[in-house]
Structure 1
């Protein structure tokens, strides 16, 4: 049986990064197959396959009876090669690394591992079903049966939603794009969680808007800071993620949620609530949209964080007038969303496959969270545990680890990290780091972190 491609890619990328960083130089011998397999905790066949592929690419040379040697010099190569993360303060490079996956150890990743989302059973179903439907365009609002199902799911979360209030999008990011394009003008102030969702900060910058950070606590936005910023900034929009917050992992409490909505009403704020992990979180968890019933809250959801990563299917629920405005803009700019993907997701839900998948995903996330918390606490970190689930932990770092070159140091070791600077509206936030629970107990990452702590 061939070795899993992800593990082979892991070995290849690790070697390429070491060559790129200069820790492996032309002429140097690589570790033996047995030693490398033991070090990485993988099978020897996987290492053999990775070495042979690098030989085929001209990166390594096999010397019978001696081993494998580096022959490739990065500066002289004109072919594709792995590149280190561009810069610690560059949000675009942070997002690009999540897509290109060049660094093998990934505590800074914002997504769960591919193997968590695409189990063998689900892959078989996807392969069979994907092109069983016709090629007609989707309706302007999206696949009607899936929208009806989603309205039912929102009802279980306490959110009353009719079909004229919910439009399908190409993921939550597309919904944010539509909202910014429709309601934000250059020069506008827009309130955001700080630390908060870094692609949103990049979107607002591209729109010429000013992102005004509202301090984010573990139990939700700092209400006093929200009130002060709403009163003085002139902002009319507030983007927030109430539950399983990215990047801190915290979740809003009922008391904080009531206070946020009271402040929004007093200052006429339109609140955009992103809920990407809703399907693995408790239905009864506090949601602004449930307390507000979509009067001044636009509620965003997505399948991209809980289903196969290649799905770009999301939705927005809002008051009828707002939903209609956003859907008209969607039709003008994107024509329609994917009928194939939406029909497929509906079938996964209808046939019970999605529910089984979610149960496995919750169990994996819970187990990984416990392991990561235990490992990080053993290093001396105080961990504020996620409330109700989610994929993220947030650790405060000592002052000496606030160096902007920290991300480059990690990349040279093959480790992808996500420091606080990427998630803040401040140019000099307190040193901290987002950690994906799937990778928080990775031995290579922990060893690097222990060395940096001194």
Structure 2
């Protein structure tokens, strides 16, 4: 509540009241907290004292605050349940990360989902999953089927993950790895471990839209760093570090979501030098590692897991149902993070860990991923051609992965296109859902594996014609 109100908005009294309600909803004004004095708030918001008086009176009448004679105004309690949508400016539903996620998850099988972030189910190793479940059921491994896992997770899978990470140049012992229930669970644990409400977190702009929603849940201040085809804009990165003093930087390793860009070695080295100079911790989300034809530079490999934390998951390549992820980090943080995992999820994902190990240890997994990469290459070429015929152009042409970050023709708004498409049974992912600065209104993210149906392009053509 320390910024002037926009002049074009509605009633000044209503705006002051709404600003106070927002602070209460996001819990930066806790129950019992004293509100700013009338004069102080009037000066901060550039309104008259009488406007603040009327706003306070409305909130008293609504039971949101109470007045104490000679003392001022105080927030009534207790806190309302946490509502994530109240922790950020109200967004149009088409670009709200939470709403976009729900549309992709809740719609039925008849809805086309070129905006979603996963492979079609028939691209996944379903027979290998069935075989792993049958093997576990026949083996008499009752602990795998029914018991809790250990705090760090299945030792055999952690050993296998350590070997796989070494193939990408990341040296980590199995004792530096904690298994989690998913990549999202891993990021949530790290936010609980490292952040306090109000801490600043840097993300790429654009970035994976659930980063924005998750950081909102942890009441972090999110600042975007513009992306370039060679990685984050390091000059802006340096300037933001100096100005904001962030606690974390959350980014993708290898293939970037949503753009498909890959950080160059020069950019990776500069990012690490800047992080060291500003005591910044980096969380590198590496869930698309197995989609790469050739490994891109890993910050965790260059840094040796000193200030970089590596996160991974098998939801994109094995199963989004039997989910399993992991965290690799510096040794002295493992025990306190293990305690936090025990406190928040006890010994979860034990069965999923056994399933993941059974499939990953089988040579068939490498053949499966070779097939997926070939199919994605073909799908990417077809999708580029179909979009190009509509005047929709890629920001970069990715060398691997499932995503295309595409610019619409001049004057077209992605949110409007997404609204039209949803009405026709097609779920799209408009650019501003991925952008902390809301500067991607002309972009859509396409999942090429989910963009094979010709109806998608018919609906896009209709939307472009309106």
Shorter chain as denominator, the TM-score bin is: 0.7 to 0.9
Work out whether 1:210 is the aligned partner of 2:214.
no
Shift in Å at residue 404 of structure 1? 3.8
Q: Tell me, which stretches of 5 or more residues in structure 2 are unaligned?
A: 1-91
SS in structure 2 at match of 1:300 = strand
Q: Deviation digits for residues 282-334 of structure 1, max 9, x if unmatched? A: 45321111111111100011000111221210001011122333222111111
Work out which of the residue numbers 233, 237, 242 in structure 2 matches 1:226: 237
1:401 offset after TM fit, Å? 2.5
**Residue in 1 that maps onto 2:188:** 177
Q: Which has the higher contact order (CA 8 A, sep 6+)?
A: 1
Contact 1:276/1:302, CA 8 A, preserved across alignment: yes
Q: Which residue of 1 aligns with 2:317?
A: 306
- Alpha-carbon distance in 2 for matches of 1:312, 1:204: 21
Note if 1:92 corresponds to 2:98: yes
Q: Does 1:166 align with 2:192?
A: no
Change (3 A) 1:371 1:130: farther
Matches within 5 A, 1:202-281: 202-281=213-292
Q: CA deviation digits over 1:58-91, x for unaligned, max 9? A: xxxxxxxxxxxxxxxxxxxxxxxxxxxx920222
8 A contact 1:87–1:407 mirrored in 2: no
Report the TM-score when normalising by structure 2.
Answer: 0.75
Counterpart of 1:116 in structure 2 is: 123
Query: Residue 37 of structure 1 aligns with which residue?
Result: none
**Partners of 2:396 and 2:414 in 1: CA distance:** 26
Deviations along 1:316-371, one digit per CA (max 9) or x if unpaired, are: 10111223332221111111232211112111122323222212211221211111
SS of 1:263's equivalent? helix
Going from structure 1 to structure 2, the CA distance change for 1:111 and 1:280 (only over 3 Å counts) comes to same
Q: Which sits farther off after the overlay, 230-239 or 337-346?
A: 337-346
Q: Does residue 357 of structure 1 match 2:364?
A: no
- Contact 2:300 2:308 survives alignment (8 Å): yes
Q: List runs of 5+ in structure 1 lacking aligned partners.
A: 1-85
Q: How does 1:254-403 map to 2 (within 5 A)?
A: 254-282=265-293, 284-398=295-409, 400-402=411-413
Deviations 1:106-163 (A, max 9, x none): 11111111111144x3243144135442133211100001100110011111000012
Q: How many residues align?
A: 368
Distance in 2 between residues matched to 1:201 and 1:227, nearest whole Å: 21
The reply on whether 1:128 has 2:134 as its aligned counterpart is yes
Q: Aligned with 1:401: secondary structure?
A: coil
- Name the TM-score, length of structure 1 as normaliser: 0.77
Question: For the residues of structure 2 that align with 1:379 and 1:399, how far apart are their CA atoms?
Answer: 12
